[in-house]
């Protein structure tokens, strides 16, 4: 069952849209505020987001921008505004569609199905394969860019390579020696202690509390493990 996040401040409209979507075998979560919608959109695992523009707190445009930076899923903007400038802005921020109120619930369902089908067809494309999403972190392997909660964070070459290697080997204990050999190479002028330094720098960038890491964990006497 596909999961949809519906961010809409008008309760009656949100409940009507949810009912139609659930009839069509979608699972729907609702958020009525911009702040709550943004947090749930970034942290949740959804297949599609329906996003009203005019919301209390963070507006739909800002939510769209931040979620698009880290998630490759359909985003449908909904608004009573009919001006072309709003449509252009929304689509320019990464939205896949712009639906003007009022509209029929059946039209919404049809658009949801169409966008989900399109993304499924693209699922095997190179653009999606080259982007990794984990723990609110977006890693673009081709551009060598990392976004965390929508914000681009600078990574050095070795920090980036180390992060990608961990993400490609989730839940595995990797020793310092293994990491040193794979990232720095046997011919490097550095030594294995550089691994410890780079692990600390990684934690400072990806962990909320680097002193008590949840993602990049130390396995004492064995190495490190990236938990997924």
Residue 130 lies in a domain: no
Residue 33, helix vs strand vs coil: coil
Print the domain residue range for 205.
155-226
Q: Which residues have C-beta within 8 Å of that of residue 119, sequence separation ≥ 6?
A: 47, 72, 73, 74
Q: What is the pLDDT of residues 47-104, one digit of tens each?
A: 999 999 999 999 999 999 889 887 888 999 998 877 778 888 888 888 889 998 888 9
Closest CA to 202 of 173, 165, 177: 165
Neighbours of 127 (CB within 10 A): 10
Kindly state whether residue 221 falls inside one of the protein's structural domains.
Answer: yes
pLDDT of 13 above 80:
yes
Residue 145 lies in a domain: no
Number of domains in the chain: 2
Torsion of CA 180, 182, 184, 186, to 10 degrees: 80
Q: 169-190: per-residue pLDDT in tens?
A: 989 999 999 998 888 876 555 5
Q: What is the mean pLDDT of residues 134-151?
A: 87
Residue 90 shares a structural domain with residue 183: no
Quick one: 24 and 90 in the same domain?
yes
Residues 111, 52 share a domain: yes
Which residue shows structure tokens 């639906």? 99
In a domain, 143, yes or no: no
Question: How would you classify the pairing of strands 145-148 and 151-153?
Answer: antiparallel
pLDDT in tens, 105-119: 999 999 999 999 888
Instruction: Assess if residue 84 is contained within a domain.
Output: yes
Q: How many helices (H) and strands (E) does the chain have?
A: 9, 12
Q: Specify whether 30 is located in the same domain as 91.
A: yes
Cβ burial of 212 (10 Å; 0-12, 13-18, 19+) is exposed
* Last residue in a domain, options 124, 146, 179: 124
Give domain status of residue 94, yes or no. Answer: yes
CATH number (domain holding residue 115): 3.40.50.2300
Q: What is the pTM of this model?
A: 0.57
Whether residue 179 sits in one domain with residue 97: no
């Amino acid at each position: 069952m596909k999961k949809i996040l519906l961010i809409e401040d008008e309760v009656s409209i949100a409940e009507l849209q949810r009912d139609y979507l659930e009839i069509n075998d979608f699972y729907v979560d609702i958020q009525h505020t911009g702040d709550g919608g943004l947090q749930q959109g970034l942290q949740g695992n959804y297949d599609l987001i329906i996003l009203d523009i005019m919301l209390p707190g963070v507006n739909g445009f800002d939510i769209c921008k931040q979620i698009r930076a880290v998630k490759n899923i359909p985003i449908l903007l909904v608004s009573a505004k009919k001006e072309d400038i709003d449509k252009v802005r929304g689509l320019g921020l990464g939205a896949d569609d712009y639906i003007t109120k009022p509209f029929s619930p059946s039209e919404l369902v049809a658009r949801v199905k169409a966008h989900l089908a399109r993304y499924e067809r693209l699922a095997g494309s190179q653009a999606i394969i080259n982007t990794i999403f984990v723990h609110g972190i977006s890693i673009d392997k081709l551009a060598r860019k990392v976004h965390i909660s929508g914000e681009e964070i600078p990574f050095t070459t070795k920090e980036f390579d180390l992060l990608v290697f961990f993400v490609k080997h989730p839940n595995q204990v990797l020793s310092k020696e293994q990491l040193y050999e794979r990232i720095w190479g046997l011919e490097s002028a550095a030594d294995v202690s550089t691994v410890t330094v780079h692990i600390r720098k990684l934690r400072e960038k990806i962990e909320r509390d680097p002193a008590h890491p949840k993602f990049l964990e130390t396995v004492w006497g064995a190495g490190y493990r990236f938990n997924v």
